A and B are shown apart, each in its own frame.
Chain A
């Protein structure tokens, strides 16, 4: 058998012209099959494969599927999923909240800057028309050509743009707060009042 295979392989490579092999190919179905496969493998290795491979293994797959048992595992409903895993993080978090509450008294200095503009309102006009000036540094424009000043200007520009981007983000964060403020303030005050009044009576 192995000798026959070797002969076949040699024949495929165009080396032996053994009549045994040729006879075997016509008579032996297994050998013919092998012949077919060798050709396929050779084509594949030489990169001569046609794009549409026509293996017909669907019959095998079908028979395999036929023999397979159907899946009968029930679909788990979400009610059965454990929540325990998610409970633990919040236990940790509520501890964090308690700590946070201690700091509440010292709270909110980050918003102080917001209260400033109102106090300095009188000189806060930045008119878009009419005379301007006074604020713009004259020295900068006179030393325009120097490279080092250019650098300074770019840095200053960077700083100002960063300031604008930061302000944009802050404004967005406060956007919803601003909207809800009026009705919200009322409801919380209302709640607090209703809680406080009964003991007073």
Chain B
């Protein structure tokens, strides 16, 4: 009798289990259906795919070629420059807190471009750009304005506005279509031509051409940084929001006195392909007051600073610091200390520092 009771209990358990099993089976079925759908999508010919994409973007310029990554980037630049939009995105660096941003841009009736970028967590900060003047509001500092073509946010400036300048250093490859932020997107892989820098994957919205996602990868394919758009809204009425902005009340643009540019007596024999000197000068460091000879290199996506200073004795061996994308490499020969700082792999920083050579004064 007791045994039968146990059996009955077991049976009720079995019945509930049967539900689980059938649920499972349904899942596998649904999954196999979706994979089938994907396969059939893949098996479509390239041409019909292209047609579909161009249909999606028919509002675009007549000469838009969805097969060319360059066309996609040009479209991105055109859209970010001319459209009125409101974008929410999250910057995620593995191991760190995610940082949510709000990014707005509008073109007013009088052709004024107004752009706004806010960090939404913590005390945050606020950038407002009116044409070519960027005002910065930060807690703890008096607000100020400086001249600038764009707000220097987490999304590289050159990618958004001047993609043509990146061609020397990077190659762009169309990877395929994907769904990102609930929209169909075109995926583009960006790699440096000499494989000395980090790689990127970007996803652009097919309908609007706007950026939806940007991933940065290390040399071994590890994810270093991620920008994910969570909301994208293109709306002429965003201009109305900016109309309320009292432009006169923004701080007046100050002119920053830059140290004069000069030609150093040294140069780097190795510089990654496509990297150019942006500025060279001698200045004092704000914190320690040390005097440094300075060069700023840039390929558009990343910036690398090279500092030459008299060896202070604090550095007796090489310094190699690497956290996420940021790298600091410093080496000294006892008299002179060379430091390379920037978002490049450590190997590249070392190569650059090693390649320093004195230019003959003659």
Instruction: Assess whether B149 is in contact with A176, with CB atoms less than 8 Å apart.
Output: yes
Residue A47 lies at the interface, judged by CB distance under 8 Å to chain B: no
Select the stretch in B48-56, B178-186, B213-221, B232-240 that faces chain A: B232-240
A152-181 to B contact mask, C-beta < 8 Å, 1/0: 010011011111111110111111111111
A60 and B219 CA atoms in complex are apart in Å by 50
B61 interface residue per 8 A CB criterion? no
Closest to B247 in A: A97
- Chain A 82-127 residues near chain B, CB threshold 8 A: 83, 86-87, 90-91, 93-94, 96-98, 100-101, 103-104, 106-111, 113-118, 120-121, 124-127
Interface residue from A9, A98, A128, A137 paired with B336 (Cβ < 8 Å): A128
Stretch of B17-25, B62-70, B168-176, B189-197 contacting A (4+ beta carbons < 8 Å) = B17-25
Q: Identify whether the interface residues of A are mostly helix, strand, loop, or mixed.
A: helix
Bound complex: CA A42 to CA B11 (Å): 10
Cα distance A33–B115 in the bound complex, in angstroms:
68
User: Do B341 and A164 touch across chains, with their CB atoms under 8 A apart?
Assistant: yes
**Cα separation A157 to B314 with both chains bound (whole Å):** 5
Q: Does the CB pair B312–A141 fall under 8 Å?
A: no
Of all chain B residues, the one with the shortest Cβ separation from A54 is: B25
Chain A residues lying within 8 Å of B312, measured Cβ to Cβ, are 135-137, 156, 160
Per the CB 8 Å criterion, the residue count for chain B at the interface is 98
- Give complex CA distance A100, B141 in Å: 10
Within 8 Å of chain A (Cβ to Cβ): is B246?
A: yes
Instruction: Name the distance in Å between B362's Cβ and chain A's nearest Cβ.
Output: 13
Query: Quick check: is B81 within 8 A (CB to CB) of the other chain?
Result: no
The yes or no answer to B1 lying at the interface (CB within 8 A) is no
- A111 touching B254 by the CB < 8 A rule? yes
Contact A126 B310 (CB under 8 A): yes
CB pair A176 B152 closer than 8 Å? yes
Chain B residues with CB under 8 A of A103: 142-143
Evaluate contact between A86 and B241: CB separation under 8 angstroms: yes
Do A177 and B256 form a contact, CB below 8 Å, given A38-B14, A90-B245, A101-B251? yes
**A37 to B11 Cα, complex, angstroms:** 12
> Which A residues lie at the B interface, using CB under 8 A?
6, 9-10, 13, 37-38, 40-42, 44-45, 53, 55, 57-58, 61, 78-79, 81, 83, 86-87, 90-91, 93-94, 96-98, 100-101, 103-104, 106-111, 113-118, 120-121, 124-129, 132, 135-137, 140-141, 153, 156-157, 159-168, 170-181, 183-185, 187-188
- A-binding residues in B (CB < 8 A): 4, 7, 11, 14, 17-18, 21-22, 24-26, 28-29, 86, 126, 128, 131-134, 137, 141-144, 146-150, 152, 157, 233-235, 237-238, 240-242, 244-246, 248-260, 264-266, 278-279, 282-288, 290-294, 296, 298, 303, 305, 307-316, 319, 321, 326, 328, 330, 335-336, 339, 341-342, 358
Which 9 pairs from chain A and chain B are nearest by CB?
A101-B249, A184-B147, A163-B287, A55-B25, A168-B305, A156-B314, A168-B341, A100-B143, A184-B132
